[in-house]
Amino acid sequence: MIWDTHAHLNDRQFDVDRDEVIERARQGGVTTIINIGDSEATSRQAVSLAAKYPFIYASVGVHPHEAKNCNEETWTNLSRLAQNPKVVAWGEIGLDYYRNLSPRDVQRQVFIRQLELADEMGLPVVIHDRDAHGDILQILKKHPPQAGGVFHSFSGSWEMAKELLSLGFYLSFSGPLTFKNNRKTVEVATNIPEDRFVVETDCPYLTPEPYRGKRNEPLYVNQVINKIAELKGISTEKAALLAVENSRRLFRITK
């Protein structure tokens, strides 16, 4: 039993074989998938897919790349979607200073607004942080999410990880943990407490070894669990069980 806590199954790369990808994951032991919204449109799609599959849940939210396109109607529509019982998180939200597809000041405003909305809906947040560690921390200290949250595909240092852990966040690991010479993420995964990590694919992106270069899919979350088990010196079964227990606690999923 293993969960993929961050997938983008509505991505167009899955248009030709989405159902087959989901079935492969099920056959490979993936029992729960959280399908992530990163715009109003994909949030709607995520909720629709969750309605089709009992073991798929959804999140709603606007990625920092899309921040420039938000208005009050966006927040009204997402808040309505968030009332669906299959919606378990608000995200992915945050800051991206690597590509800067939305102005940084707009990204920050939209990030804060979504933290507020997540609090109103009682949902944990799924945070995207790329080259924006300082501003992310500053905002989260001023606007701590009441229902907690997770840094998806965590890429920061162990020093930053310790600060986030002290604030109550979970950290999620994905394909890059399996990459050679990724010492920073390996250090974090090795040292993180057993009750504070979850795993994901971020598919169709961030494909782990040995599939790197191909399209990622939920089945490959097994490679991330294998690496965590190796780093912590525990069985893959125990690593998977810990990740599932942590995911249940974070997203408040009891089934």
The conformation of residue 16, written as its DSSP 8-state character, comes to: T
The phi and psi torsions of 2 (rounded to 5 degrees) equal: -150, 150
Measuring CA to CA, which residue among 99, 100, 105, 144 is closest to residue 125?
144
Distance CA 251, CA 241 (A): 15
User: Quick one: pLDDT at residue 255?
Assistant: 76
CA atoms within 13 A on the CB side of 234: 15
Task: Render the burial of 32-54: b for 16+ CB within 10 Å, e for the rest.
Answer: bbbbbbbbbebbbbbbebbeebe
Distance CA 145, CA 148 (A): 5
The answer to whether 139 and 165 have CB atoms below 8 angstroms apart is: no
Report the 10 Å Cβ neighbour count for 210.
Answer: 10
User: Quick one: pLDDT at residue 160?
Assistant: 95
Angle (CA) 30 115 134, round 5°: 95
Give CA separation, 33 vs 23, 46, 152, in Å.
12, 11, 14
The answer to whether 197 and 223 have CB atoms below 8 angstroms apart is: no
Amino acid at 179: F
The answer to whether 223 and 233 have CB atoms below 8 angstroms apart is: no
Contacts of 17 (CB under 8 A, 6+ apart): none
SS3 content of the chain, % helix, strand, coil (to 5): 50, 15, 35
Distance CA 207, CA 220 (A): 8
CA atoms within 13 A on the CB side of 14: 21
Name the burial class of residue 1, with classes exposed (0-12), middle (13-18) and buried (19+) by CB atoms within 10 angstroms of its CB. Answer: exposed
pLDDT tens per residue across span 170-208: 999 999 999 999 999 999 999 999 999 999 999 999 999
Fold annotation for 2-251: TIM Barrel (3.20.20)
Spans of all domains in the chain: 2-251
Distance CA 6, CA 121 (A): 20
Structure tokens at 110: 């939209």
Segments in the chain below pLDDT 70: none
